[in-house]
Amino acid sequence: MKLAFQLAYRNLIGAGLRTWLNAGILSFSFIVILFFDGLIDGWNKQGIRDSIDWEYGQGQLLHADYDPYDPFTIDDGHGKIPESERAASVPVLVRQVSVYPEGRMLSVKLSGIEAEQKLLKLPTGQLQKSEAEIPAVIGKRMAKVAQLKVGDRVLMRWRDKNGVFDAQEVTIAGVFSSNVPTVDQGQFWIPIRKLWQMTGLHEEVSYLIQKEPKAVSISGWNYKSQNELLKPFRELIKVERIGNSILFTLLLGIALLTLFDTQVLSIFRRQKEIGTYIALGMTRWQVVGLFTAEGAMYSLFAILLGSLYGIPFLFYMTKAGFGIPEANLQMGITIAERIYPVYGFSLIFGTVLLVVISATVVSFLPARKIARLDPVLAIKGKVL
């Protein structure tokens, strides 16, 4: 084995440009796979962190009739705060309202939250500071759609607990920037006490956000752990990974095809050399091993070459991040304007292993032919 690698190293170094062209193509695939996988890992980590910080906290307790993905459950999906959870959670009451920015009507979700809460990153402190009758904070996506800015007043119409319409002006006390669209798009945040007052639903909430992870079982409420809440996002990442793996397979496939082609051509062109190896005392399987080792070494050279330009590039990307096009930000998925790729040990090790193993296998396949080769004909270059 050592000899095979020793000779393979000599052969590849001696082959000069041919070696580096192959290594270059393979290294490009290697770096692209690392980059995009790192990007998805970065997105995954950022997305989970943002979802916890902005929306899920340590878990949620949802009213049994409330489904955050079904707007028809908003009207009836609320109940009194369970006593046991009063201190341990941040309460949120959700209502469906209409706002009229510049005379246009927009149907939005109105969420009431404790202004003094510190659990979520929502800038509810601005609600406390505001002296407006009904202060509200909105996300920048909402601000953009409604063309609202801090200090603007907008008419809001809602129904109280008896279904009677009421309306009043709401003052924008703050506009926040969040990567989590579900706390931003089509949503206004006001102090929960104000919302209780506006609707007459005193001490009623749609869901509670837990400050500490604790599984609870309360009749009329559904407990969702942080993991369950993150499941849809994780599913999305999984789908993205599958999509990317198709791209990687194609990319790596092209690189491996190049390597396969080189090996086939190499065996064809180097018949005399193969014959000479055998005449000098190598067994046929030793020669197969040599050609396979050459293939494996291509991948090692690719990793070496890829490291030369890849490490600075990947390092730069971890600092500068990768800008996400505006259109993607509007898609309603948790994604930052810039994703900072994360390159973990398992990702790097896994990718290195993938490239080395696939290159070795691809080199072994044509090299097997050598095992059936007649050395007499090989020396003369008359085999294939």
Partner 1 sequence: MTWAVMAFGLCWYTIINQMDTKEIIRIEQLTKRFRDGEGEFTALHKIGLSFGRGEFAGLLGPSGSGKTTLLNIVGSLDKPTEGRVTVLGKDIARLTHKESAMLRNRHIGFIFQVYNLLPVYTVFENVEFALLLQNFSAGERRKKVMEALEWVGLAHMPNKRPDKLSGGEGQRVAIARAMVKRPEILIADEPTANLDARNAHAIVRMMKQLNKELETTFLFSTHDEKVMGYLERIIRLEDGKMVSDEWVNVKTKKT
Binding site for partner 1 (CB under 8 A): 3, 6-7, 10-11, 13-15, 272-273, 275-276, 278-286, 375-376, 379
In the bound complex, what is the minimum distance in angstroms from residue 263's beta carbon to partner 1?
Answer: 16
Nearer to partner 1, 23 or 209 (CB): 23
Nearer to partner 1, 13 or 239 (CB): 13
Spell out the alpha helix ranges (H) of the chain. Answer: 2-15, 17-51, 125-129, 140-146, 192-199, 226-269, 271-279, 284-320, 326-329, 345-367, 375-380
Nearer to partner 1, 266 or 351 (CB): 266
In the bound complex, what is the minimum distance in angstroms from residue 273's beta carbon to partner 1?
Answer: 6
In the bound complex, what is the minimum distance in angstroms from residue 7's beta carbon to partner 1?
Answer: 7
Task: Dig out the tokens for 46 from the structure.
Answer: 């950022």
The DSSP result for 174-209, as a single string, is EEE--S-GGGTTTEEEEEHHHHHHHH--TTEESEEE
Nearer to partner 1, 311 or 377 (CB): 377
In the bound complex, what is the minimum distance in angstroms from residue 240's beta carbon to partner 1?
Answer: 44
Q: Are 124 and 161 in contact (CB under 8 A)?
A: no
CA distance 268 to 282: 19
CA distance 164 to 157: 10
In the bound complex, what is the minimum distance in angstroms from residue 26's beta carbon to partner 1?
Answer: 20
In the bound complex, what is the minimum distance in angstroms from residue 22's beta carbon to partner 1?
Answer: 15
In the bound complex, what is the minimum distance in angstroms from residue 284's beta carbon to partner 1?
Answer: 6
Element (H, E) at 64: none
How many other C-beta atoms can be found within 10 angstroms of the C-beta atom of residue 367?
A: 24
User: Which one-letter amino acid corresponds to residue 51?
Assistant: S
Q: Are 233 and 48 in contact (CB under 8 A)?
A: yes
In the bound complex, what is the minimum distance in angstroms from residue 270's beta carbon to partner 1?
Answer: 9
Nearer to partner 1, 14 or 325 (CB): 14
Element (H, E) at 166: strand 165-176
**Among 104, 179, 116, CA closest to 145:** 104
In the bound complex, what is the minimum distance in angstroms from residue 30's beta carbon to partner 1?
Answer: 25
Nearer to partner 1, 6 or 128 (CB): 6
Q: Are 111 and 90 in contact (CB under 8 A)?
A: no
Q: Do strands 207-210 and 204-205 pair parallel, antiparallel, or not at all (unpaired)?
A: unpaired
Q: Are 26 and 302 in contact (CB under 8 A)?
A: yes
Residues whose CB is less than 8 angstroms from the CB of residue 101 and which lie 6 or more positions away in sequence, other chains included: 146, 147, 148, 152, 154
Nearer to partner 1, 153 or 369 (CB): 369
Nearer to partner 1, 43 or 277 (CB): 277
Q: Can you say how many angstroms the Cα of residue 56 is from the centroid of all Cα atoms in its chain?
A: 18
Nearer to partner 1, 242 or 280 (CB): 280
